[in-house]
Structure 1
Amino acid sequence: MDALQYPIGPFEAQADYTPAAIAGFIADIRFLPTLIEIAVQQLDAYQLDTPYRPGGWTVAQVVHHLADSHINAITRMKLALTEDNPVIKPYDQDGWVGLPDVMHTPVNVSVTLLHALHTRWADLMERLTDAQWERTFVHPEGRKVFNLKTQAANYAWHGKHHLQHILRLKERMEW
């Protein structure tokens, strides 16, 4: 079950990241929407409504979750860039994937949103100074402090993590 839930393994933060690693995270974030679009473009309604694992979200929920999660991520980054060590607001991701917009909005709407959002996000990150990359925010669960390098690493991983959910389901189902 762990291989289905964490197909690329869980996220493991490093103590620091090189400029080359950060450039890689930015590229991962920039190109994720295209990879998601390719992964879902030929899927029919039944396939989009199939969970990627037993007890997991459907493919459509995964795509909508990426949009919701990454909207929150860029907001957290902008808060950290404009406020001193802000405490961010967490959200109930399981609750969000059960809301009516997720249940009734076509996935292409969230794919389009991802394209626009990730362009803005990557454009922002490409222009951050070394000092800006060190800016932080606080997650209220455990009062854990994150700098923007770690956040970029986490969301680069997050996109690949969910992309693999979709791709591995397609492979298992021979779609």
Structure 2
Amino acid sequence: MSTPPDNPAGPPPPTPSYSDDSRDALIDAIRSAPARLQAAVAGLSDVQLDQRYKNWTIRQIVHHLADSHAHIYIRFKWTLTEATPTIKAYEEADWVELTDSKLGDTAPALALLEALHAKWTQLMETMGEADFAREFHHPQSGKNVSLWTTLNYYPWHAKHHTAQVQWLRDQHGW
């Protein structure tokens, strides 16, 4: 088996200027991301789910996406209701080492991701350019980050991790 690529879905895209068309395309990508992940893990056995892509197993990747996207949904809500809130950072590498991520059934994580993306897209469809210009403060980077920049990153994030699963499926012929 060859060495897994760092970015099987390519590098994160640059953030373009806001436009309604770009917003709609990004929201559609968020809306469809759970189904793509579900298709990528469909039919995998526990042994296959425990196959590693670099440092994380497929199971951990699924749980990570649910955890990460839950965080970003909450960050959106804080940012829309507070003036430049300082968000709570978390150590994703520690979270995937918790027992629920290492051994837990992926079905609840997939269901959470699907429901979460449905709520998140519902929220974003009500947002305009001024809403997406709002920012939160990230304490680890020390930077303020706009919701527009955030929206541009998260479709890639889902695609990136789904591509990791697909890469393993392709390598093993699953």
TM-score scaled by length of structure 2: 0.93
Distance 2:139 2:96 in 1: 22
Q: 1:2–1:15: structure 2 CA closer, same or farther, 3 Å change rule?
A: farther
Q: 1:8–1:159: structure 2 CA closer, same or farther, 3 Å change rule?
A: same
Aligned residue type for 1:114: L
Tell me, yes or no, if structure 1 residue 9 matches structure 2 residue 10: yes
Q: 1:17–1:172: structure 2 CA closer, same or farther, 3 Å change rule?
A: farther
Distance 1:142 1:165 in 2: 26
Q: Residues 100-134 of structure 1: CA distance to partner in whole angstroms, max 9, x if unpaired?
A: 11123200110011111000001100111221111
Distance 1:151 1:170 in 2: 29
- State how 1:31-42 maps to structure 2 within 5 Å: 31-42=32-43
Aligned residue number for residue 152 of structure 1 = 151
For the Cα contact (< 8 Å) 1:3–1:9, is it kept in 2? no
SS at match of 2:152: helix
SS at match of 2:157: helix
Higher helix content, 1 or 2? 1
Aligned residue number for residue 89 of structure 2 = 90
Q: Residues 41-72 of structure 1: CA distance to partner in whole angstroms, max 9, x if unpaired?
A: 1100110000123xx20000000000000000
Aligned residue number for residue 167 of structure 2 = 168
For the Cα contact (< 8 Å) 2:13–2:156, is it kept in 1? no
Aligned length: 173
Aligned residue type for 1:75: I
Tell me, yes or no, if structure 1 residue 18 matches structure 2 residue 16: no
For the Cα contact (< 8 Å) 2:59–2:103, is it kept in 1? no
What is the aligned-residue RMSD (CA, Å)?
1.6
Aligned residue number for residue 45 of structure 2 = 44
Q: 1:32–1:168: structure 2 CA closer, same or farther, 3 Å change rule?
A: same
**Unpaired segments of 5 or more residues in structure 2?**
none
Aligned residue number for residue 140 of structure 1 = 139
Q: Percent identity?
A: 37
